[in-house]
Chain A
Amino acid sequence: MSQPAVDQAFFIYFYISLSILSIAVIASRNIIHSAFFLLIFLLHVAAVFLFLNAEFLMVIQIIVYVGGVLALFVFAIMVMNLKEELRHRKFVKFAGAGILAGLLFFAVFYVFIRNIKITPEKPLLGDVNTLGSLLYSYYLLPFEILSLVLLVALIGGIIIAKKNPREDK
């Protein structure tokens, strides 16, 4: 077994399993099953990152998406207790629009990556020190703007969640 052969085998596996899982997420009738497939899907994406030598991105993918985003999804599903299966007929109406949007997305995506060149040197994504110093020097402005956006989202969430003070009286 040589290294390229192993690489090839893994990529074929990820290619097939990610496609099947992403269809399973939207096609399963039970919403918790969708969440379960999404969990496996996100873990597979993390594994692809690891395979591309981006350890840090893998871990962040797991912490942010699996530990945070999906946990909140599942929590919301459980609080709302959506145990009945979704009625499929309601969504069939929009199938044409959905296919159109998908085609458009793929067309745009293709235009973007058509001229892409794979550089032989590996980017230093796995290096946390490089990432940190880049974030705080070259990308400082986008970083600050993003943190401001997050702060606004936080405060907005608190205000929405809080009861109207007039109702208390």
Chain B
Amino acid sequence: METFYFILITTIKTAIYFGILMLHVAYATYAERKIIGHIQLRLGPMVVGPHGLLQPIADVIKLIFKEDIIPSNVDRKIFTIAPLISLTAALSTFAVIPVSQNWFISDINVGILYVLGIAGIGTYGIIFAGWSSNSKYAFLGGLRSAAQMISYEVALAMSLVGVILMAESFNLTEIVNKQLEYSYGMFLFPQFLGYFVFIVAMLAETNRVPFDLPEAETELVAGYFVEYSGIRFSLFYLAEYLAMFCMSALATICFWGGWTVPPFLLKIFPFLGMIPGVVWFLLKVYFHMFLFFWLRGTLPRYRYDQLMAIGWKVLIPLALLNIVLTSLIKYYS
């Protein structure tokens, strides 16, 4: 009976988490359009609802009711299953992400590795989509994505080693609690090198500007999902935004102290402790989401060889240097 209750409660928790996440994704697309609009001195969506607030809902309804076209020369099985792989991988990462103390679906001991591993599966959705579409643009997009993700996954994982060394744990909740033991309360300060590498690798992993080569619209139309339409197209879109949220949450937990307030700030402004942890967590996550949009509005795209050079010749050596420095300081103090 106990097993049954456990399964029931986990299912309910997952359903609630899922619903909230979907709303966040819908309004993240709205926020992106608004922010990019204002950066380019436009207004962004304004027609549906006050200030275009109902635009994401209208978009979702439109995408669901559109015809799902499967081109005649595609590999049907792989073509239909590819978006589901991307979406499942992106959603599964949130199973271990703690939103506040004791607010999580599952609290496993190897949380940080789990997130990295599962996020890597999302690549297969992109590769399979590119291959099965039987189109040059999609194929090139998939190929670029495969090479990019393999290279940057290394840098992403290595940038987190410094955090793991300082926290002495793979558990995400423990990483956050460990940061409270220091007066500065965030690993951002001692791990600034790791944070820099993480942010750059995060942009590349989620295929965002300035590393959005798999979907570079000026060269590849839309890259790997060029042949998709309707609901399957929106699944890819969803997976991309979920991956952005996942990376933002990971950055928040590992470098920004998650749902906690730094102790030195709490000493000066004690009232900050009254605000619930979820609010802090969301604020920090949305700061990173804003970073994604901000960079998209201001930076041009890198060339492909530049992308590879940055990954292998700059980020990975920097991450290694960070690991060596952290271990040395930890050993001698």
A interface with B by C-beta (< 8 Å): 1-3, 6, 30, 32-33, 36, 39, 43, 55-56, 58-60, 62-63, 66-68, 70-72, 74-75, 78-79, 126, 128
A2 touches B3 (CB 8 A): yes
Q: Does B309 contact A (CB under 8 A)?
A: no
Chain A residue numbers with a CB within 8 Å of B123 are 71
Cβ-closest 6 pairs across A and B: A67-B120, A62-B117, A59-B113, A63-B117, A59-B110, A75-B146
Give CA–CA (A59, B113) in the complex, Å.
Answer: 6
Chain A residue numbers with a CB within 8 Å of B149 are 71
A63 touches B110 (CB 8 A): no
User: Which of B61-69, B124-132, B183-191, B295-303 lies on the face that meets chain A?
Assistant: B124-132
Give CA–CA (A3, B2) in the complex, Å.
Answer: 9
Give CA–CA (A134, B121) in the complex, Å.
Answer: 30
Q: Distance in Å from the Cβ of A137 to the closest Cβ of chain B? A: 17
Give CA–CA (A166, B9) in the complex, Å.
Answer: 68
Closest to A66 in B: B121
Name the interface residues of B228-264: CB closer than 8 Å to any CB of A: none
Name the residue in A30, A75, A126 with the highest tally of chain B Cβ atoms < 10 Å from its Cβ.
A75
Chain B residue numbers with a CB within 8 Å of A72 are 150
Give CA–CA (A63, B121) in the complex, Å.
Answer: 9
Q: Distance in Å from the Cβ of A33 to the closest Cβ of chain B? A: 7
Instruction: Please tell me the number of chain B residues within 8 Å of chain A, measured between CB atoms.
Output: 34
Closest to B146 in A: A75
Chain A residue numbers with a CB within 8 Å of B274 are none
Give CA–CA (A97, B1) in the complex, Å.
Answer: 52
A59 touches B117 (CB 8 A): yes
Chain B residue numbers with a CB within 8 Å of A60 are 113
Closest to A129 in B: B168
Residue-wise interface mask of B (115-144) relative to A, using a CB-CB cutoff of 8 A (1 in contact, 0 not) = 011101101100110111000000100110
Chain A residue numbers with a CB within 8 Å of B77 are 33
B113 touches A1 (CB 8 A): no
Q: Distance in Å from the Cβ of A89 to the closest Cβ of chain B? A: 23
Name the residue in B124, B142, B153, B170 with the highest tally of chain A Cβ atoms < 10 Å from its Cβ.
B124
Closest to A65 in B: B117
B147 touches A75 (CB 8 A): yes
Chain B residue numbers with a CB within 8 Å of A71 are 120, 123-124, 146, 149-150
B128 touches A1 (CB 8 A): no
A32 touches B109 (CB 8 A): no
Chain A residue numbers with a CB within 8 Å of B127 are 74-75, 78
Give CA–CA (A63, B131) in the complex, Å.
Answer: 23
11 contacts between A and B (CB under 8 A): A1-B1, A1-B3, A62-B114, A62-B117, A62-B120, A66-B117, A67-B121, A67-B153, A71-B120, A74-B127, A74-B146
Chain B residue numbers with a CB within 8 Å of A43 are 121
Provided the pairs A78-B143, A79-B143 are in contact, do residues A32 and B78 lie with their beta carbons within 8 angstroms?
yes
Q: Does B75 contact A (CB under 8 A)?
A: yes
Chain A residue numbers with a CB within 8 Å of B157 are 63
Q: Does B332 contact A (CB under 8 A)?
A: no
Q: Distance in Å from the Cβ of B5 to the closest Cβ of chain A? A: 10
Give CA–CA (A66, B78) in the complex, Å.
Answer: 18
Name the residue in A30, A33, A43, A63 with the highest tally of chain B Cβ atoms < 10 Å from its Cβ.
A63
Give CA–CA (A74, B3) in the complex, Å.
Answer: 39
Q: Which of B75, B121, B170 contacts A62 (CB 8 A)?
A: B121
Q: Distance in Å from the Cβ of B204 to the closest Cβ of chain A? A: 15
Give CA–CA (A51, B150) in the complex, Å.
Answer: 28
Q: Does B271 contact A (CB under 8 A)?
A: no
Q: Does B283 contact A (CB under 8 A)?
A: no
Provided the pairs A56-B110, A72-B150 are in contact, do residues A78 and B131 lie with their beta carbons within 8 angstroms?
yes
B78 touches A33 (CB 8 A): yes
6 further A-B contacts with Cβ under 8 Å, apart from A1-B4, A63-B157, A128-B110, are A32-B78, A62-B118, A67-B117, A71-B150, A74-B127, A128-B170
Q: Which of A3, A32, A75 contacts B150 (CB 8 A)?
A: A75
A30 touches B146 (CB 8 A): no
Chain B residue numbers with a CB within 8 Å of A39 are 121, 124
Name the interface residues of B170-184: CB closer than 8 Å to any CB of A: 170
B109 touches A126 (CB 8 A): yes
Closest to B134 in A: A83
